[in-house]
Amino acid sequence: MKPVLVDSNVILDIATDDPSWSDWSATTLERLADEAVLVINPLIYAEISVGFQQIEDLEDVVPGDLFHREPLPWEAGFLAGKAFLSYRRRTGSRRSPLPDFYIGAHAAVRDYRLLTRDSSRYETYFPSLTVIAP
């Protein structure tokens, strides 16, 4: 089964016991962990880290034996830039590439599935990507 890149919002739903999303995120993550390798990258790690004072607490939430850690592929940087350019030409106003573009590009160039609860940007700018979302 294809690996799954896990977006930070899914992990944060579980870590914060989000009243709207924690059940869906936990159930879906648990199911996928039984069938595939779960992957995070430095951007996802950084997004999650904002909610923790100490790295040890963060490590408890994203243990290395559950989440395979992968660097961002150079090809993902190129694809993220192209997706961001398309976004800016459509309606975007941000000046620097958003983490979502790098995350989507990472999953796309590695042919991973992406677990997220915010699928619209990924589906728009990475149409070949298999997105797992509510």
Question: What's the confidence (pLDDT) of residue 67?
Answer: 98
* Per-residue confidence (pLDDT) for residue 88, from 0 to 100: 85
Closest CA to 111 of 85, 130, 92: 130
pLDDT, average across residues 28-53? 96
Place of tokens 């620097």: 96
- pLDDT of residue 36 exceeding 80: yes
Q: Band of the pLDDT at 92, cuts 50, 70, 90? A: low
User: pTM for the complete prediction?
Assistant: 0.92
Contact assessment for residue 101 and residue 126, using Cβ atoms and an 8 Å cutoff: no
Among residues 88, 106, 119, the alpha carbon closest in space to that of 43 is found at: 106
pLDDT of residue 76: 96
